[in-house]
């Protein structure tokens, strides 16, 4: 998508912003990881509270991964997005059913 | 395939060409040959089952062998016959329909076929090695965990290998359709067979992993002492049923949707009308696929999931009748007022509509969870799924074979033999399975080896078996037709049926590069649009230029052979440690081939512009 031979100032500006976003996401992800590890390591929270919190942190990280590092936020990624959500749907359905009917 | 290889003569060169081919048209031939072989095998197994049941307390085959017969009949027909035959049609036609020169990953296409073939052979080796699998094609635990022979091990490894092949094929088709449509071929201009190929591939992508997981769990329980399904050790045997049907229900849509696609091509062509309600057809296809993931527990109504779960799955199941009904009415409306030609392909399509509708109707009956307690595991279920799978899928395959035979092999199948074959099969099919509804309602359970005299089951079973013979004769006539056509059949022009879609815009059989210049698509039924505009052929979308082609490779064959050998190792390592050697050798071959593939650059070759210009149009 990026034309390397023809970098005008607009493109440069865009690349710069992109880089900024990448770095912010990267820092946030490292931050989340540190938070997650410290919650577990320090026993600071009750298990009932810690487990959902860890799951939420993990979900956000997956979102960052998909949308920023794997560029799903950019144009032309509608199709992969649809397929990924389709797969997530099928997997969640499986897990939900097994939890609800088999193990509950 | 390089040009030089194609021009070599002799059987050796011919064989080598097919072993190494990455051309989607030749892989289609391979799929049809492989699928056809297993179709005959599964048909013979069906014959044995029916002959055993021709009379009360018959002892044509022993009880144990009977269990192996019905298990292998189901497994073979679903995994090794119906699906490969459909994949063969998809391979042959879909790239042509969307105006592509090949699939996106020709190498993987070949790998997918060889994995399927070796998986199927591995599964069938069990007949000669101490007994085939014998716990039904669904392999329910704990029965399948307890089965004493190696049969189930062959089932697990065979399906694992061939399933990987199918998964590869599905991903390949997805990428092909997303990325390689000809200029102007938008999604809503794609022929319906390409659409169903696309949706089917999505189903393969999402459904097969559940089977893979289930098979791995079963493999570990049987071979490595785990206890996923062992209730005594804290496992749960119902998990297998869930995993199997989470795969298994989408699987039946994987089978039927391509058949729907075939009919959606055949009916408009021979009615001389565009498909009625194209948009509705596309969305009905997608809706069926979507709902298909939410209905698996209707196979398990009697397991004891509870009234709430049963009710939810019953309603979801009944909802599927809506998009399916839309399709049936659209086909009828396509024919309405059309100028209809009735030939073999069209006959199969016409026979399909009432047959499949009966199967759909019994499907809604079965969907009612309350009534299902009566039908469950009876011949009523057997009759239902044979009406949808034979009346839908097999009819679809025959229609597709008759319709695209000239495209694939350059000869038109004999019409007279085709029509005789259809009528014999149609009558035999209804004779075999219609009566089974009533056998089931009278209480005959499925998978029973014998039934007793004078319980009202004698005549019905006898009629059912006679019907099977008619279907066998019809299948034989089709084989004779193939041979007759190969020897004497008339050679068609590129477009013998006055077709509407892109595959008919090129010669039959197509040149190995398919399209000299990629065509410009101006709407739905692109060739028909050009015909109506008085042009009669496609406008090229690009100037004549070099065509980039992939090189053939023996590596897919070698990889699959490696997994095949390793499969034997896994199966027998429980008997003796020395069999671990087979695992190492097999995996060595497979992984070594992968390494070669990764390290050796293969950029393919180009057909030069001059060479293309020399070829006649």
List average pLDDT for each run of 10 residues in chain B, which is 617 residues long.
Answer: 53 92 95 97 96 94 95 96 96 95 94 97 94 94 92 96 96 95 95 96 94 96 93 91 94 96 96 95 95 93 90 94 96 95 96 96 95 95 97 97 95 94 97 96 94 93 96 96 91 88 92 92 94 91 92 95 96 93 96 95 89 76
A 52-81 residues inside an 8 A Cβ radius of B: 79
Q: Tell me which chain A residues have a C-beta less than 8 angstroms from the C-beta of B207.
A: 90
Calpha distance B525→B274 (Å, rounded):
8
Q: How many domains does chain A have?
A: 2
Say yes or no: A64 and A99 in one domain. no
Say yes or no: A35 and A64 in one domain. yes
Q: A102 at the B interface (CB within 8 A)?
A: yes
What is the largest distance, in Å, between two alpha-carbon atoms of chain B? 78
Say yes or no: A53 and A92 in one domain. no
Mean pLDDT score across all residues of chain A? 85
Residue spans per domain, chain B: 3-553+602-614
Q: How far is A80 from chain B (nearest CA, A)?
A: 10
pLDDT value of position B613: 84
pLDDT value of position B2: 44
Q: How far is A92 from chain B (nearest CA, A)?
A: 11
Range of the domain at A81: 75-104
Q: Tell me which chain B residues have a C-beta less than 8 angstroms from the C-beta of A102.
A: 236, 238-239, 242
User: DSSP labels for B46-113?
Assistant: HHHHHHHTSSTT--SS-HHHHHHHHHHHHHIIIIIIIHHHHHHHHHHHHHHHTT-SS-S-HHHHHHHH
Which SS3 state, helix, strand or coil, does residue B605 take?
strand
Calpha distance A69→A66 (Å, rounded):
6
Instruction: Report CA B103 to chain centroid distance, whole Å.
Output: 18
The residue-averaged pLDDT of A75-87 equals 85
Say yes or no: A66 and A96 in one domain. no
Say yes or no: A60 and A34 in one domain. yes
Calpha distance B608→B526 (Å, rounded):
28
Quote the ipTM score: 0.73
Say yes or no: A55 and A79 in one domain. no
pLDDT reading at A7 higher than 90: no
pLDDT confidence band for A70 (50 / 70 / 90): confident
Say yes or no: A85 and A39 in one domain. no
Calpha distance B507→B513 (Å, rounded):
11
Say yes or no: A85 and A62 in one domain. no
Q: Give the residue among B332, B351, B372, B474 at the shortest CA–CA distance from B417.
A: B474
Say yes or no: A84 and A69 in one domain. no
pLDDT reading at A3 higher than 80: no
pLDDT value of position B589: 97
pLDDT value of position B617: 56
pLDDT value of position B4: 46
pLDDT value of position A95: 86
The residue-averaged pLDDT of A10-14 equals 87
3-state secondary structure B155-189: HHHHHHHHHHHHHHHHHHHHHHHHHCCCCCCCHHH
Say yes or no: A46 and A84 in one domain. no
Q: Tell me which chain B residues have a C-beta less than 8 angstroms from the C-beta of A94.
A: 210, 242-243, 246
Say yes or no: A59 and A89 in one domain. no
Q: A23-56 pLDDT, tens per residue?
A: 999 999 999 999 999 988 988 888 888 899 999 9
Does the domain at B3-553+602-614 match CATH 2.60.40.2700? Answer given as: no
Say yes or no: A22 and A59 in one domain. yes
Q: Tell me which chain A residues have a C-beta less than 8 angstroms from the C-beta of B238.
A: 102
Counting every residue written for chain A, the total comes to 104
pLDDT value of position B107: 95
């Amino acid at each position: 998508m990026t034309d390397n031979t023809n970098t005008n100032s607009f493109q440069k500006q865009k690349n710069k912003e992109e880089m900024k976003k990448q770095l912010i996401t990267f820092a946030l992800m490292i931050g989340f990881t540190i938070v997650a590890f410290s919650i577990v390591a320090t026993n600071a929270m009750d298990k009932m509270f810690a487990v959902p919190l860890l799951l939420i942190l993990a979900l956000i990280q997956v979102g960052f991964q998909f949308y920023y590092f794997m560029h799903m936020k950019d144009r032309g990624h509608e199709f992969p997005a649809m397929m990924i959500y389709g797969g997530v749907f099928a997997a969640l359905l499986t897990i939900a059913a097994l939890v609800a009917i088999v193990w509950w | 395939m390089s040009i030089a290889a194609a021009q070599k003569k002799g059987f050796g060169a011919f064989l080598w060409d097919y072993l190494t081919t990455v051309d989607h048209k030749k892989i289609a031939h391979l799929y049809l040959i492989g699928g056809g072989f297993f179709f005959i095998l599964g048909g013979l197994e069906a014959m044995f089952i029916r002959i055993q049941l021709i009379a009360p307390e018959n002892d044509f085959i022993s009880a144990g062998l009977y269990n192996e017969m019905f298990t292998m009949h189901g497994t073979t027909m679903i995994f090794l016959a119906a699906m490969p035959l459909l994949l063969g049609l998809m391979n042959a036609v879909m790239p042509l329909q969307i105006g592509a020169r090949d699939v996106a990953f020709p190498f993987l296409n070949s790998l997918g076929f060889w994995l399927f073939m070796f998986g199927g052979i591995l599964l069938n080796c069990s007949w000669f090695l101490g007994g085939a699998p014998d716990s039904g094609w669904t392999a329910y635990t704990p029965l399948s965990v307890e089965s004493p022979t190696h049969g189930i091990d062959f089932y697990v490894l065979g399906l694992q290998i061939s399933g990987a092949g199918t998964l590869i094929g599905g991903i390949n088709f997805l990428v092909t359709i997303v990325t390689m449509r000809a200029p102007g071929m938008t999604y809503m201009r794609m022929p319906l067979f390409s659409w169903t190929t696309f949706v089917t591939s999505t189903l393969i992508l999402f459904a097969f992993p559940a089977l893979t997981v289930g098979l791995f769990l079963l493999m570990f329980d049987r071979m490595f002492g785990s206890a996923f399904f062992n209730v005594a050790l804290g496992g749960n045997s119902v998990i297998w049923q869930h995993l199997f049907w989470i795969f298994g229900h989408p699987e039946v849509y994987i089978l039927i949707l391509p058949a729907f696609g075939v009919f959606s091509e055949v009916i408009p062509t021979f009615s001389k009308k565009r498909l009625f309600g194209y948009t509705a057809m596309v969305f009905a296809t997608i809706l069926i696929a979507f709902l298909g993931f939410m209905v698996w527990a209707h196979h398990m109504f009697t397991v004891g999931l509870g009234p709430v779960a049963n009710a939810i799955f019953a309603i979801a199941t009944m909802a599927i009748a809506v998009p399916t009904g839309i399709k049936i009415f659209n086909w009828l409306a396509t024919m309405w007022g059309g100028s209809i030609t009735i030939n073999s392909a069209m006959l199969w399509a016409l026979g399909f509509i009432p047959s499949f509708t009966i199967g759909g109707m019994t499907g809604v009956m079965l969907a009612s969870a309350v009534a299902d307690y009566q039908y469950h595991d009876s011949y009523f279920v057997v009759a239902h799924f044979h009406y949808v799978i034979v009346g839908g899928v097999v009819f679809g395959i025959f229609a597709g074979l008759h319709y695209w035979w000239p495209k694939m092999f350059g000869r038109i199948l004999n019409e007279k033999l085709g029509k005789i074959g259809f009528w014999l099969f149609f009558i035999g099919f209804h004779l075999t399975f219609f009566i089974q509804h009533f056998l089931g309602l009278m209480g005959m359970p499925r998978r029973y080896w014998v039934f007793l005299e004078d319980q009202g089951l004698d005549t019905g079973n006898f009629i059912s078996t006679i019907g099977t013979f008619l279907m066998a004769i019809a299948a034989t006539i089709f084989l004779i037709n193939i041979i007759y056509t190969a020897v004497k059949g008339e050679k068609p022009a590129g477009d013998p049926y006055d077709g509407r879609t892109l595959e008919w815009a090129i010669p039959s059989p197509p040149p190995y590069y398919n399209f000299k210049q990629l065509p410009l698509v101006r709407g739905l039924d692109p060739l028909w649009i050009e015909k109506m505009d008085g042009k009669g052929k496609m406008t090229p979308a690009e100037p004549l230029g070099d065509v980039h082609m992939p090189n053939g490779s023996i590596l897919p064959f070698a990889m699959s052979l490696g997994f095949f050998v390793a499969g034997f190792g896994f199966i027998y390592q429980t008997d003796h440690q020395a069999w671990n050697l087979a695992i190492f050798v097999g995996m060595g071959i497979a992984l070594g081939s992968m390494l070669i593939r990764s390290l050796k650059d293969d950029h393919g070759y180009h057909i030069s512009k001059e060479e293309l210009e020399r070829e006649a149009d």
